[in-house]
Amino acid sequence: MIDPQQHAKNRGLVESILQYIPGFSGYLAREYRRESDSMTRNFLADKLQKSKKGLDEYGNTLVGLGAIDQLPMLERLRSRLDLAINRLKSQMPGYSGFFDFVQVDEELLTDIYEHDLALVQQVDGLANEITNLGTSQLTPAQVVPEITAKIDGLLAKIDHRENMLKGVAAGGDA
């Protein structure tokens, strides 16, 4: 993510001058939030995408064991994971649109930041679990329902975040 203090230190001359124009600093702050939000969502999507390697390794293990009949269950899991990745990539940009012409509600921003932190932690745990599937000795019937439930929880959290940005939901966790 972009560190606002570090960015301020690396600000170019023109950008530093523009900070003094009334209203422009607010515009820059919104742009920083948009960029930070986009980078966060892409980071999370990439982390989940990379975790699919563990899913591939697990599938190869099943094939090696002759458990081809278990692969459809694994493919359904992959589809749910792809849905979460696509939802993260295509989600409504945070801190833009609805905030551009309206006073930014600092409490809402705090709620969104807290929600995003929980989202990052949830994706991190899920990605690690999927990555480690490659070395798992458990059957798909043992692991797929649990991971699917975690992906569904992630999708609910993504939906809640979008509702927060639209002003539909109150702050807090999904």
The pLDDT tens digits for 22-63 are: 666 666 666 777 777 788 889 999 999 999 999 999 999 999
C-beta separation of 94 from 33 below 8 A: yes
Give the pLDDT of residue 165. Answer: 76
Q: What is the mean pLDDT of residues 156-163?
A: 90
Packing angle, helices 24-64 and 106-131, rounded to 10: 20
30 CB contacts (<8 Å, ≥6 apart)? Answer: 95, 96, 99, 100
Q: Is the pTM of this model over 0.85?
A: no
Lowest mean pLDDT among 12-26, 29-43, 137-151: 12-26
C-beta separation of 152 from 81 below 8 A: no
Instruction: State the DSSP H helix or E strand holding residue 44, giving kind and residue range, or none if neither.
Output: helix 24-64
